[in-house]
Chain A
């Protein structure tokens, strides 16, 4: 088997993804090794793991720097990269939602509501389809602050338990879509290493079924 390079997203999804790969029969390094390094060679399973920022995973894969990647559907939609989406891994489940202040004292006077989000592309597309006019503000983190200090009226963000929203006095107003993590593949790798990739897909599919 030719060595495969797999890009994993640091953070929330990584542990689940690693656990899943182990269940599928691949030997992986210890978790604490994984959290410290950026590139991990695993001679035994003939795979190299790259630990990347989630939004960079589709880029590594599009350019073929990684053959495979694990990434959330949210990031995949936002990045809109030319990659194969092979498998719904059904991990990292959450939803993309619109949220706002629970009991706004005075309703916004803005004619065009402002929406703060990390997912500017997905949010624009969503509101465009709804025929709503909004102003999208792209933020890179701590999105929940935006409505609290009046920067935006609503936010579009990932919600899993809803705890973060609650702690900040926000409520989920509308669900845009459910999100899970996906296995993605580079176009060239999918052809040149088809047998190896299909083998991994089959094994992961079995884990998902059970």
Chain B
């Protein structure tokens, strides 16, 4: 075993420097304010969970779970998503809270990476869960809020790929019942060539083969739902499609139809989804920046029957898709002569009265000869509104206290 270098971190985790944190917080703030405007309340759950409760529910991620052992020998996991912990809370601490519940979060989730050392293992996610409604308005609200949140963050061009897992499931069952799992695996791997080859070898009639072969091509605007309807005869599939049409009707009122791309092969890694499912893509990020869908059975695994729908935004990927905006300067810097006791006294007074009125103030003490150089240097830093020396900040103080006085007079 090679010992880590003194400054080394585990694979896949990152330090965030102040400028990056500032921009990340700004993006998160824009998103969560948007979610709050829709009535969602933030919830915090622990990063550590029992493997038996949380680990089991996100099946496909088994090999990507970070596992630890606690003092009693029980297996713990670092949460691989936020949906399952929230389901647990909704069925326990919040079990008497009336539905629908609207919860949102800004949290880190953890997934081990298989390849590439540089790929992330800790992800920041902001998302929502709308729990307790099985009506199309809830699905539409969640898709619309995903779009609104991304727009609020500053993203302008994106596509929301929407699929329907209940339709897909019953469609596959109807066409090639015995091979549903294999077919789903091919779609998860996005292997249309393998799909075609596999379908052609199946012992099913030509009509069913044609339907299966057409499925990956059923993509585009909502017309494809109508076409899909002509391809199935079972009620579950037809109902799922009618439901999706209702969702899209409502989405038209939210005015986000232009972002929507129907794709029935959309299948996200988790197998807890039971209905509408979606992923959001934006250039130049090669991976989905947001994903979500309806999961009507997950919460019942924790003992409470509650249909739900939600989404999570991958913050780092979103940031990659956004044009970095120059954040406005917001801090005053006072430079003082640290050999002069009078200046020290004064700078503390001035800074604190300035802070009281809501400003950010930073102070730096240098020797008298260095004051001017320090001011010139620090002026390069774009987060400073102004970099001031003794003469200026003492005036700044009188100016600010004048302002405070005016404000007080107004409020009186």
Give A contacts to B, CB under 8 Å.
61-65, 80, 82-88, 182, 186-189, 191-192, 194, 198
Given the contacts A191-B261, A191-B263, A194-B261, A87 and B193 also touching, CB distance less than 8 Å: yes
| B 281-317 contacts with A by CB, 8 A | 281-288
B193–A192 touching, CB < 8 Å: no
Leading 6 A-B pairs by shortest Cβ distance = A64-B286, A188-B281, A191-B281, A84-B190, A191-B159, A85-B191
A188–B193 touching, CB < 8 Å: no
Partner of B286 from the list A87, A188, A198 (CB cut-off 8 Å) is A188
Instruction: Give the A-B contact count at a CB cut-off of 8 A.
Output: 61
The complex places the Cα of A82 from the Cα of B269 at a distance, in Å, of: 12
Q: Which residues in B have their C-beta under 8 angstroms from that of A61?
A: 286
The complex places the Cα of A176 from the Cα of B192 at a distance, in Å, of: 21
The complex places the Cα of A12 from the Cα of B190 at a distance, in Å, of: 26
In the complex, residue of chain A having the shortest beta-carbon distance to the beta carbon of B116: A59
Given the contacts A194-B219, A194-B220, A194-B261, A188 and B285 also touching, CB distance less than 8 Å: yes
B286–A85 touching, CB < 8 Å: no
B260 to chain A, nearest CB (A): 11
Q: Which residues in B have their C-beta under 8 angstroms from that of A83?
A: 190
A120 to chain B, nearest CB (A): 13
A188–B190 touching, CB < 8 Å: no
Q: List 16 A-B contacts (CB under 8 A).
A: A61-B286, A64-B284, A64-B287, A82-B287, A84-B192, A85-B190, A85-B193, A85-B194, A186-B286, A187-B190, A187-B286, A188-B282, A188-B284, A188-B287, A192-B281, A194-B159
The complex places the Cα of A88 from the Cα of B161 at a distance, in Å, of: 24
In the complex, residue of chain B having the shortest beta-carbon distance to the beta carbon of A87: B193
The complex places the Cα of A63 from the Cα of B118 at a distance, in Å, of: 13
The complex places the Cα of A191 from the Cα of B161 at a distance, in Å, of: 7
The CB with the most chain A CB atoms within 10 A, among B191, B196, B263, is that of B191
Apart from A64-B284, A188-B284, 4 more pairs, CB < 8 Å: A65-B286, A182-B193, A188-B285, A191-B159
The complex places the Cα of A182 from the Cα of B193 at a distance, in Å, of: 8
The complex places the Cα of A80 from the Cα of B197 at a distance, in Å, of: 19
A86–B284 touching, CB < 8 Å: no
The complex places the Cα of A62 from the Cα of B288 at a distance, in Å, of: 12
The complex places the Cα of A164 from the Cα of B295 at a distance, in Å, of: 55
| B 182-200 contacts with A by CB, 8 A | 189-194, 196-197
Contact flags B228-255 to A (C-beta < 8 A → 1, else 0): 0000000000000000000000000000
The complex places the Cα of A198 from the Cα of B192 at a distance, in Å, of: 13
Partner of B282 from the list A65, A84, A192, A194 (CB cut-off 8 Å) is A192
In the complex, residue of chain B having the shortest beta-carbon distance to the beta carbon of A66: B286
In the complex, residue of chain A having the shortest beta-carbon distance to the beta carbon of B161: A191
B190–A192 touching, CB < 8 Å: no
Given the contacts A191-B161, A194-B219, A194-B220, A63 and B192 also touching, CB distance less than 8 Å: no
B261–A187 touching, CB < 8 Å: no
B270 to chain A, nearest CB (A): 15
Q: Which residues in A have their C-beta under 8 angstroms from that of B286?
A: 61-65, 186-189
B192–A187 touching, CB < 8 Å: no
The complex places the Cα of A64 from the Cα of B284 at a distance, in Å, of: 7
Q: Which residues in A have their C-beta under 8 angstroms from that of B261?
A: 191, 194
Partner of A187 from the list B191, B194, B197, B281 (CB cut-off 8 Å) is B281
Q: Which residues in B have their C-beta under 8 angstroms from that of A87?
A: 192-193
Q: Which residues in A have their C-beta under 8 angstroms from that of B287?
A: 64, 82, 187-188
